[in-house]
Structure formats: structure tokens, C-alpha cells
Amino acid sequence: MDDLEKWPEIEKAATGKRRELVLQGPAVDKRVSSNGGLASAIYSLTLLNYLEVSQCPSLTELHEDIQHLTNLQSLILCRNKLASIPNVVANLKSLKVLDLSVNNMKVLPEGITQLKELNTLNVSCNSLEVLPEGLSQCTKLSTINISKNNITGFPADFYSERLDLLSTLVASDNSIDRLSGDIHKLPALKVLDLSNNKLSEIPSDLSDCPKLKEINFKGNKLNDKRLEKMVNGCQTKSILDYLRGKGKGRQGEDGGDVDGGRSADRGKRQQQRKKKEKVADEQDEVDELNKMVVRVLHVSDAPTALTVKVSAEVKDVRPYLVCCVVRGMNLKSGNALKRFLVAQTKLHDDLCGKRTIATIATHDVQLLKTPLIYDVKPPTQLKIVPLARKEMTAVELIRHLQLEADELRKQKKRQNVTGLHKYLQILQGKTLYPCLVDAEGHVISFPPITNSDKTKIKKTTKELFLEVTSATSLQTCKDVMDALIVKMAELNKFTAEHQEEVGSDGEGDTPQEPASSCETSSELIIQQVRTVDQDGNLKVVYPSKTDLSKDVSNLTVIW
């Protein structure tokens, strides 16, 4: 029987009815080793939608009871020593993300083909020789990574129009010796990586993939030495143009009934392709213009990643907190900073219910003194330098705001007030106030009222620390943070598109300097941040793979 005292993460997930659980690293691996596997209690956490067990070399098998976690949307089992996965994984009908990378698997269970909601499959860095037949039944697949295995080819049904959402196929460092001309039946394919395999030919039919933008065939010994030279140094468009030309040449040389029929079929396809090519190109241009890219850096990839410790006392005041770091947000150009602040205010008024549901705060990472603690303080002891004000206690700040509100009412002869004044009632009756405190003991955030002038963002800010707090729920924090990041991506895209405009366009105050290449990119990079309890146990990591998954058609999230 499991000793749950050794598995506090599982116990807290059960008592707190949590939907995410992350177990990783040497301490967890030691428990897995002594227990002979994962604690059986983990399979009773039926509310989980995100489960990660990683970096545990002692984990060699997964119990069939995994089938009970039917609400799972993401199952991350990377960097272990798993030799197999039970076929009952087919019962995880809600699963969208399955990551089995860096294990010891030689075969995948047929049950994977029954996962109708699966959109991301990562089985890279294993010892697989084949993929299961029937993978085309996973019609929502958009990303497949099978790199660094021993795979020799794709299943017969793989080149299927049923996989009409498959946009990324990474199959590098395998032993694949043939790519079928039926590859053109994957209409959404944009990225194809078959580098370092055993291909001798690249089918000319590849040029009929209407959306293909990025291909990699380096490290293959091709019979066509000109083509081999091209794949080692040329751009995708040049290679596809060359393949298209080869296809036309072959069509003219083919003879006989069989070859003639094949030529006619190919000629018909080419005519159809030409008719659709212009429309497809125009649509791709629109897609490219509208595309917003968010790249997520996993917390394990950054040894010095920020961590926020949460004190037990916040439980009865404002218990929920979600944080992350954002890079690549261009606040320098034109009126970009003002647009961002206006967008934040609109989120506060709408989605955050005038801060009664949740509160957003932003900080300049370079001005943070880490580590950070989310804590509570009595109003008389909470000292902060509010935005555009001098240092004062929370009591003094609230008194000032109340006086200002009264004066505004008199001047404007109306009851409604604006600015910080409209949030004062949220704190009424509280004996302790929530606050985010830096390593030097300075309060840098006092939700839902204000954050510190010491860490405020400016036009020169290159990295932002975002925090969302709430007294409602953890999911509320995540929903608000998702919306904030989507809005930041939209603003960054807008800024990038207007980089070349002069600052005197009616919004900026001064002419713009030429933008550097990094400033013209609209891609945002989100660094995960963990919040932990006082004992260092994980409370939440944001973003997880179930976050930023809202149906925003032009948002691409790269993990």
C-alpha cells in the first residue's frame, strides 16, 4: 500500500481537487524506485487534465490503471525509461497531447490510434522501428515528432486525406528509405523534416503539397546529386520548383499504358494544382499576415528560472496566483507601451470584472530582486511605492485614495469615480492585505490596488514579469493570463507591421529609429514560472500544455 506521506504532491492534488500534477526530478525518481513505480493513488485523481511525470529513470512501466484518468488532455511522460505503454491508453478519449519522448520504447500500443482528440504526438528519442497502422484515424493530429528512432518507413494508411490537419511532421534521424509520392495527400503539411535518413529519391509529387513551407532532407544520399546539393544548401521554394520541373519532364518521357495512365493522373493533378495554386498562395499570404506566434520555454530548460513561493496565510485572503515571463514584447516603438497599458485596463474592466474577479500586474524583470514571495501583511506594515507616488503604507495609500475620490465627486458632482479609486471597496473588511514581496523585503505588488513604481515597465523594458491574482479560482487566473498573452501577441503583431511608419502618425511623439531585426519580429517567448508552497511543493506552473489552447485560429503555440 502506498505511503502517501512520501507523495505529498498526490495528496495535495486529491484534497485540493487539482487538475494539474507535475512529478519530476531526482527526488521523485527515488520514490519511484523504492515504490516499484508510481504510487497507485495517482490513478484515483480523476479530475486531472494535465499529468507530467518526467526525468525519472526508475520509471520503466505504466500501470493499466492510467485508463481511469479519463479527463486527461495532456500526458507528458518524457525523459524516463519506459519500455512500453499499456494499450488501455485508448480509453483516454479526451487526450490532446501525448509526449513519450526520450524513453526506451520499441513499439507503440495500437490503442494510440483510438485517440480521436489527439493533436500532438511526440515519441522522439526512443527505439521504435514502426508506427502503428491506423494512425490516420487520429484525424485531429497536427504535429507528429518521431525523430531519433529506428523507423524504416510510414504505415500504408499514413498518407491519408483523413489527416487533413497535419501541419508538422518531424522524422529526422531514422532509417527511412522511401517517401511515397502519396505525401501530396496531406493537404495541410507545412513543415517536413526527413534529415539524416536513408532516402535515395525525393518524389516529385512532394511539390503538389499546397502549403509546404519548410523542408529538410539534409544527410540523405540522393541519387540525383544536383538535388542532393540543393537540399544541403537551398531554400524550400527552390527545391520544390526543381522537383516540379522533374515531374513535368518525367511526364513527357513516360510511355506504355501503366506509365501513361500514371502520367495522365499526374497531369490532371497538376492542372488542379495550378487552378488552386493562386488561391492557396493568396490564402497563405493572409495566414502569414494574421499569424501570431507564441513560443513556450519549459521551466526545466532554464536552471535559473523564476519561482514564486506562496505563503500559507494567503489562503484566506487572495489565494490564487499565476505568473510567467514574456520576452520579445516591443514596447519601444511609437505608442506601443500606451496601447499595452490601455489593453490591460480594458481587460481589468471586462474579463476581470473591474478587478473583483482577478487583477493583472506587470513588472520589468531587470528590476526584480528574486526570489519572490506571495504573502500577506497587516495594512499598517505593508509599505509600497505606488505608481507615480512616494512610499507609504497601505493605510496611508487607501486614505489618500478615499480623499481623492471624495474630492472628485464634489468637483464632478457625481457618484462614480475612476482610476484606482473604484477598487477601494474590494478591500473593505480585510485585516490582512495580499502582496508580492521581493528578496529585499520590498512590496512590488499590492493587488487589487497597484504595483510598485520601482518595477514598473517602460519603453525600454525587454522582459516582462506578469502576475495574475484572484480570490475566485486558479482557472480564473489562467483564463485571464491566456487572454492577456493573446492580446500581447496581437499588439506585438500590430507594432511589427507598423515599424516602418514614422512616429508622427498621430500616435507617436517622435520619429522612429530604424528597427533591428529582433524588434521587427512579432514572436513572443513565454518562460514558464512555477509557484510553490512554503515546502517547495509545486502549486502550479504556467503555461502548461493545457493553457493557451483556446480556439484562436491565428495563434500558433510552439512547445
CATH number at 487 reads 3.50.40.10
Residue 516's pLDDT is: 40
- Residues 64, 211 within the same domain: no
- Residues 239, 344 within the same domain: no
Sign of torsion, CA 349 351 357 361? Answer: negative
Residue 236 lies in a domain: yes
How far is it, in rounded angstroms, from Cα 400 to Cα 503? 37
Residue 43's pLDDT is: 94
Q: Any idea what the CATH number is for the domain that residue 192 is in?
A: 3.80.10
Residue 295's pLDDT is: 79
- Residues 551, 406 within the same domain: yes
Residue 393 lies in a domain: yes
Buried b / exposed e over 315-330, threshold 16 CB at 10 Å, is eebbbbbbbbbbebbb
How far is it, in rounded angstroms, from Cα 144 to Cα 135? 11
141: three-class secondary structure by DSSP:
coil
Closest CA to 364 of 278, 453, 293: 453
Among the candidates 288, 323, 348, a domain finishes at 288
Among the candidates 288, 310, 335, a domain finishes at 288
- Residues 519, 489 within the same domain: yes
Q: Which domain holds residue 51?
A: 1-127
Residue 455 lies in a domain: yes
- Residues 101, 212 within the same domain: no
DSSP assignment letter at 351: T
Instruction: Write down the residue that cell numbers 542532393 correspond to.
Output: 228
Residue 67's pLDDT is: 95
Q: How far is CA 244 from the centre of its chain?
A: 36
Pairing of strands 191-193, 20-24: unpaired
Residue 302 lies in a domain: yes
Tell me if the bond preceding 386 is cis, omega within 30° of 0: no
Which residues, listed in sequence order, are joined to residue 542 by a DSSP beta bridge? 529
Residue 153's pLDDT is: 93
- Residues 313, 179 within the same domain: no
Residue 277's pLDDT is: 52
Residue 110 CB partners (closer than 8 Å, separation 6+): 87, 90, 132, 133, 134
Q: Any idea what the CATH number is for the domain that residue 86 is in?
A: 3.80.10.10
Residue 269 lies in a domain: yes
> Position 146: which residue type?
I
- ∠ CA 339-373-558 to the nearest 5 degrees? 50
Q: How many domains does the chain have?
A: 3
- Residues 82, 201 within the same domain: no
Buried b / exposed e over 335-345, threshold 16 CB at 10 Å, is bbbebbeebbe
- Residues 312, 229 within the same domain: no
Closest CA to 115 of 78, 155, 75: 75
- Residues 193 and 169 sit within 8 Å (Cβ to Cβ): yes
- Residues 477, 358 within the same domain: yes
- Residues 280, 302 within the same domain: no
> Position 339: which residue type?
R
- Residues 103, 174 within the same domain: no
- Residues 81, 186 within the same domain: no
Instruction: Write down the residue that cell numbers 519601444 correspond to.
Output: 332
Q: What are phi and psi of 550, to 5 degrees?
A: -65, 155
Residue 383 CB partners (closer than 8 Å, separation 6+): 391, 392, 393, 394, 443
- Block means of pLDDT (10 residues each) for the chain, length 559 residues? 72 86 87 91 92 92 94 92 94 93 94 93 94 92 93 89 90 94 90 93 91 90 90 82 73 44 55 54 49 71 73 90 91 89 90 87 92 92 86 86 75 53 66 91 90 91 93 89 90 74 39 42 83 86 81 66
Residue 500's pLDDT is: 44
Residue 149 lies in a domain: no
Residue 508 lies in a domain: no
DSSP assignment letter at 132: P
Among the candidates 82, 106, 127, a domain finishes at 127
Pairing of strands 359-364, 292-297: unpaired
Residue 141 lies in a domain: no
